[in-house]
Amino acid sequence: MSVKQFRLLWILFLAIGVTGCQIHLPEFLVNPIKSIKAITSSPSCKGIKTDDSFDSFEPVIIKGPYIQRTDHVMFILDASLSMATNMHGENKLKYAKQIINRINLTMPKMHIHSSLRTFGNTIRPAIYKTELVYGPELHSRQALGDALRKIKKPGGMSALHQALLAVKNDFKNATGHISIIVVTDGKVMGPQARQAVLSLKKDFGKRISIYPITVENKPSPSMETMVKEAGQGFVERADAIFSPEDMATYVNKVFLSRIHHQDKDGDGITDDIDKCPNTPAGARVTINGCWVIGNIHFKSDSWNVPPEMNPYLDEIVAILENNPNLWMEVQGHTDYTGTSEHNYSLSKNRAKAVMNYLIHKGISADRLTSTGYAATKPIESNKTEEGKALNRRVELKPLQN
């Protein structure tokens, strides 16, 4: 079979099996390009949708601290004819556009240059085409979104290799790191795409990373090979990053590096948010790094130490025994139910009850002091029963000797 005959058979397969349209075989064999144009423009051709509106999406707001790990991002969108097939009720092209738009909306404010290149994106079915439709320019959510909306119908042959090679010219004068995000179904890639990646790596070295996103729910060996040849990046499935939370995780991995703060006291809470530094090793802490007695809290309007708290109090005894130079303030807290006077008395009694337990277990009284703080230092909202229960607590503050 000749190359020309193979291409005709491939186009015929796409026209019938992919678009679901009616085709007249004799006309197709005489003039395949004219035949495909006719069926894809026909109202009866229901396989290719032209609605390019995006669904509603509320991105997760990514907060710092972080540093930017890439300087340029190139989105390569597969708009070839194979992207006309169905994916979750839409053609794959529309689904792929939504994925890029969700990345666009989730990206935090950065000084980054972005661009969008397509391959396919033509009504001429036997044509290999790639086109730069946006950028490279300083990233604009609006501009990238508008560029995506202009891409209407899938069509043409798969030309990922041409798109990758064109990136060399797109970024010939660029400095810094370049991330390439390819959104595709991975159809008919062949060895040419691998060679294009090798060419990119030769020109840019470690300044290039490739992140293919597949809109097929199955492994893509060709995409894995691309990443392997690039040496940096990873393959992801579109379904796996579609939700706002998963998309935020993806954007973090591709674009950002987290700033890791020190945790000098080793309590798992970094120093920048630790409100109680110098907590002894092994101590249980709250989300703000303050030493708290396990998961047990007091009943409302009570300072009796429940028996189930004893194992947690025994942990405190062990820590104090292992740190003979550690002095400690036992701090009682309440929710905001009741008057201030009543809550101060209640919080003092809670602190004294815990301090007396420690003394009974052999901790010297001169190493301990107790204070009541009433409802002045909540760790959760007092508007819910769950929050109030967490606020009825005793915390332990190490003191300098």
* pLDDT recorded at residue 311: 83
Asked if residue 181 and residue 120 are part of one domain, the reply reads yes
Q: Is residue 276 part of a domain?
A: no
d(CA 77, CA 100): 8
Asked if residue 363 and residue 251 are part of one domain, the reply reads no
DSSP code per residue over 43-93: TT--S-----PPPP--PPPP-SSEEE--SEEEEEEEESGGGGSEETTEEHH
Last residue of a domain, one of 235, 258, 281: 258
Q: How many CB atoms are located within 10 Å of the residue 36 CB?
A: 24
Asked if residue 71 and residue 8 are part of one domain, the reply reads no
Q: Is residue 333 part of a domain?
A: yes
**The pLDDT of residue 239 is above 50:** yes
Q: Is residue 132 part of a domain?
A: yes
| Choice between 81 and 10, residue whose per-residue pLDDT is larger | 81
Q: Is residue 348 part of a domain?
A: yes
Burial of 364 (0-12, 13-18, 19+ CB in 10 A): exposed
Tracing tokens 């320019």 back to the chain, one arrives at 137
Asked if residue 133 and residue 24 are part of one domain, the reply reads no
CA triple 69-94-105, angle to 5 deg: 35
Asked if residue 389 and residue 352 are part of one domain, the reply reads yes
Q: How many CB atoms are located within 10 Å of the residue 186 CB?
A: 24
The answer to whether 159 and 129 are in contact (CB under 8 A) is: yes
Of 350, 329, 340, 330, which is closest to residue 392 (Cα–Cα)?
350
Dihedral (CA of 215, 216, 220, 222) sign: negative
Q: Which of 51-65, 201-215, 272-286 has the highest mean pLDDT?
A: 201-215
Question: The domain that contains 329 carries what CATH number?
Answer: 3.30.1330.60
Last residue of a domain, one of 206, 233, 258: 258
Q: Is residue 204 part of a domain?
A: yes
* Number of domains within the chain: 3
Q: Model confidence over 144-166: pLDDT tens digits?
A: 999 999 998 888 888 899 999 99
DSSP code per residue over 182-217: EEE---S-HHHHHHHHHHHHHHHGGGEEEEEEESSS
Q: Which of 246-260, 294-308, 311-325 has the lowest mean pLDDT?
A: 294-308
* pLDDT recorded at residue 38: 52
Q: Model confidence over 52-101: pLDDT tens digits?
A: 567 788 999 988 777 888 999 999 999 998 898 877 777 899 999 999 99
Asked if residue 234 and residue 126 are part of one domain, the reply reads yes
Question: The domain that contains 107 carries what CATH number?
Answer: 3.40.50.410
d(CA 193, CA 215): 18
Q: Is residue 283 part of a domain?
A: no
pLDDT band at 217 (very low <50, low <70, confident <90, very high): confident
Q: Is residue 311 part of a domain?
A: yes
Asked if residue 8 and residue 137 are part of one domain, the reply reads no
Domain range spanning residue 193? 52-258
**The pLDDT of residue 10 is above 90:** no
Asked if residue 149 and residue 61 are part of one domain, the reply reads yes
Q: How many CB atoms are located within 10 Å of the residue 16 CB?
A: 16
* Mean of the per-residue pLDDT values of the chain: 82
Q: Is residue 264 part of a domain?
A: no
Convert 227-260 to b/e letters by CB count within 10 Å (16 or more is b): bebbeebebbbbbebbebeebbbbbbebbbeeee
Asked if residue 303 and residue 216 are part of one domain, the reply reads no
Q: Which of 15-24, 32-41, 206-215 has the lowest mean pLDDT?
A: 15-24
Asked if residue 133 and residue 162 are part of one domain, the reply reads yes
**The pLDDT of residue 360 is above 90:** yes
pTM of the full structure? 0.56
Asked if residue 385 and residue 246 are part of one domain, the reply reads no
Q: Which residues pair with 236 in a beta bridge?
A: 213
Looking at residue 367, the DSSP 8-state letter turns out to be: G
pLDDT band at 133 (very low <50, low <70, confident <90, very high): very high
Beta sheet of 178-184, edge-to-edge order: 130-138, 113-120, 72-79, 178-184, 208-214, 236-237
Asked if residue 69 and residue 98 are part of one domain, the reply reads yes
The token pair at 141 is: 């959510």
pLDDT band at 18 (very low <50, low <70, confident <90, very high): very low
